[in-house]
Amino acid sequence: MFWFFDDAFCFVGFLTQIFYILTPIALMIQLKNNVLKPERVSIFGLSCLYGNAFIYFWTSAYKAPSGQDINPLDFCNLAGFYLGFIYLMIYIYFIHFKFKKLYGILLASCLVVISLVFWLIIKFTVESGNVADKTFNWIGVVLNVCEYFPLGFSIIYLLKNKISEKYTLFGAFFGLLNAIAWFIWAIYSQVQGGDLVHSIVANALGIGLEITQFILFFIFRNGNEEDNVSVGEKPEEEKFNVEIQKENEPEYLHEFV
């Protein structure tokens, strides 16, 4: 035992997961201050973060034998579940509800209804080792991999426009630490007789995705710098500030009403 955890690997995995879950706070602050174009952001990564934590927390809760002590690792999934829901609501408010109230209300309502439906399915079908348990395990794997895409940012927009978004590095850094920690934990647990193939696969892919984000950032940053020198354009940061100013102009905001 390592404090309340089974071993030191579990403790490190718990810490890195908490750090990773907290990184979207920076995005929420930017949304509040209206410094990001709606095209730059995406609900995809945040939804996967929420969905992954939702599935693993509730499946773990309902398949555990009655009276069994709570696994401390479940608390990082509980944190991801609660914070993920809050992040999604904040995102919906600033990107949708603030400009189109009906659309924002519909999105928020869909999130609540879908969550309730999946909670009921898990509650009444999942038992340790049964088909439902294994199915949700692998659904969680898909969400686990997808949550390593840029949290809150649109990877399609960044790739299409070859933009190096420095704020994605917050999530990529802590995401890489998290994926490595859980990958090592999964291998160690597998050697000890556990059945963690799904976790090994998910975090191996997660490591690759986070490293790819770093590579793309530096490729696009260098490309932007070269383009600016050759055609005499303004630096990326200066152009970004101009975009921010335009976003704050009433005429621009009217496009989203």
pLDDT band at 224 (very low <50, low <70, confident <90, very high): low
CA 98 from centroid of its chain's CA atoms: 23
Cα–Cα distance measured from residue 178 to residue 175, given in angstroms and rounded to the nearest whole number: 5
Q: Which residues, listed in sequence order, are joined to residue 153 by a DSSP beta bridge?
A: 41
pLDDT tens digits along 50-106:
999 999 999 988 887 665 566 777 888 999 999 999 999 999 999 999 888 999 999
pLDDT tens digits along 117-156:
999 999 999 988 889 998 998 899 999 999 999 998 998 9
pLDDT tens digits along 21-35:
999 999 999 888 888
Cα–Cα distance measured from residue 214 to residue 65, given in angstroms and rounded to the nearest whole number: 42
Cα–Cα distance measured from residue 158 to residue 163, given in angstroms and rounded to the nearest whole number: 5
Cα–Cα distance measured from residue 147 to residue 64, given in angstroms and rounded to the nearest whole number: 25
Predicted TM-score (pTM) of the model is 0.81
Cα–Cα distance measured from residue 205 to residue 207, given in angstroms and rounded to the nearest whole number: 5
- Classify residue 35 as exposed, middle or buried by CB count within 10 Å of its CB (0-12, 13-18, 19+): middle
Residue spans of the domains in the chain: they are 8-256
DSSP 57-80: HHHHHHHSPTTPPPPTTHHHHHHH
Cα–Cα distance measured from residue 115 to residue 120, given in angstroms and rounded to the nearest whole number: 9
